[in-house]
Structure 1
Amino acid sequence: MTNSTPQAVWLVAEREIASKLRSKAFMISTGILLLAALVGVLIGGFNSASPEPDAVAATAQTASIVEAVPNTKVTEVDDRAEAEKLVKSGDVIAAVIPGDESGFGYVLLAKEDAPTSLLMALSQTPTVEILEPAGTDPLVRYIVALGFGLVFLMAASTFGGTIAQSVVEEKQTRVVELLISAIPTRVLLAGKVIGNTILAMAQIILLAAIAVVGLIVTGQQELLSGIGAPILWFAVFFLFGFILLASLYAAAASMVSRQEDIGSTTMPLIMLVMLPYFLVIFFNDNPVVLTILSYVPFSAPVGMPMRLFVGEAQWWEALLSLAILIASCVGAIWVAAKIYENSLLRMGARVKLGEALRG
Structure 2
Amino acid sequence: MNLLEAVRLVAARELKVKLRDKTFLFSTLFFLLFAFGSSVLPALFAGGPSSVAVAQSSPYEGKLRGAGLNVKVVADPEKTVRDGDADAAVVAKGDSAEVLAMKDAPNDVVSALSVAPEVHLLDPDAVDPLAAFLVPFMFALVFFFTSLTFGIQIAQSVVEEKQTRMVEILVAAVPVRALLVGKVAAGGILALAQVALIAVVSIVGSQFSDDAGTLLPLLAPAMSWFIPFFVLGFIMLAALWAAVGALVNRLEDVSSVGMPVQLLVMLPFFLVIFLGDNPAAMRILSYVPFSAPTAMPVRLFDGSAAAWEPFASLVILAAAAAGALLAGARIYEGSLLRTNGRTSWATAWRDRELRSI
Q: Which TM-score bucket, shorter chain as reference?
A: 0.7 to 0.9
Offset of residue 69 of structure 1: 7.6
Paired residues of 2:6 and 2:175 also in contact (CA < 8 A): no
TM-score, normalized by length of structure 2?
0.77
Q: 2:218 aligns with which of 189, 207, 226?
A: 226
User: Secondary structure of the residue that 1:315 maps to in structure 2?
Assistant: coil
Equivalent residues in 2 for 1:167-246, closer than 5 Å:
167-219=158-210, 220-246=212-238
Unmatched 5+ stretches in structure 2: 51-62, 70-110, 352-357
Match of 2:99 in 1: none
Equivalent residues in 2 for 1:123-138, closer than 5 Å:
128=120, 130=122, 135-138=126-129
Paired residues of 1:49 and 1:218 also in contact (CA < 8 A): no
Match of 1:70 in 2: 67
Match of 2:245 in 1: 253
Paired residues of 2:159 and 2:248 also in contact (CA < 8 A): yes
Paired residues of 2:159 and 2:250 also in contact (CA < 8 A): yes
Match of 1:303 in 2: 295
Equivalent residues in 2 for 1:115-126, closer than 5 Å:
none
- Distance in 2 (CA, whole Å) between partners of 1:310 and 1:50 is 31
Match of 2:34 in 1: 36
Q: How many pairs does the alignment contain?
A: 297
Paired residues of 2:7 and 2:178 also in contact (CA < 8 A): yes
Equivalent residues in 2 for 1:245-324, closer than 5 Å:
245-324=237-316
Match of 1:55 in 2: none
- Distance in 2 (CA, whole Å) between partners of 1:240 and 1:258 is 29
Match of 1:9 in 2: 7
User: Secondary structure of the residue that 2:127 maps to in structure 1?
Assistant: coil
User: Secondary structure of the residue that 2:207 maps to in structure 1?
Assistant: helix
Q: 2:146 aligns with which of 128, 152, 155?
A: 155
User: Secondary structure of the residue that 2:225 maps to in structure 1?
Assistant: helix
Match of 2:155 in 1: 164
Q: CA RMSD in A?
A: 2.6
1:9-32 CA-to-partner distances (Å, cap 9, x unmatched) read 111111111111111111011101
Offset of residue 135 of structure 1: 3.5
| Aligned: 1:108 with 2:118 | yes
Offset of residue 217 of structure 1: 4.5
TM-score, normalized by length of structure 1?
0.76
Q: 2:323 aligns with which of 331, 355, 358?
A: 331
Q: In the alignment, residue 140 of structure 1 is paired with which amino acid? A: A
- Distance in 1 (CA, whole Å) between partners of 2:331 and 2:164 is 20
Paired residues of 1:215 and 1:221 also in contact (CA < 8 A): no
Offset of residue 107 of structure 1: 5.6
Q: In the alignment, residue 224 of structure 2 is paired with which amino acid? A: L
User: Secondary structure of the residue that 1:108 maps to in structure 2?
Assistant: coil
Give runs of ≥4 in structure 1 deviating > 4 Å: 45-52, 66-69
Match of 1:101 in 2: none
- Distance in 2 (CA, whole Å) between partners of 1:259 and 1:129 is 58
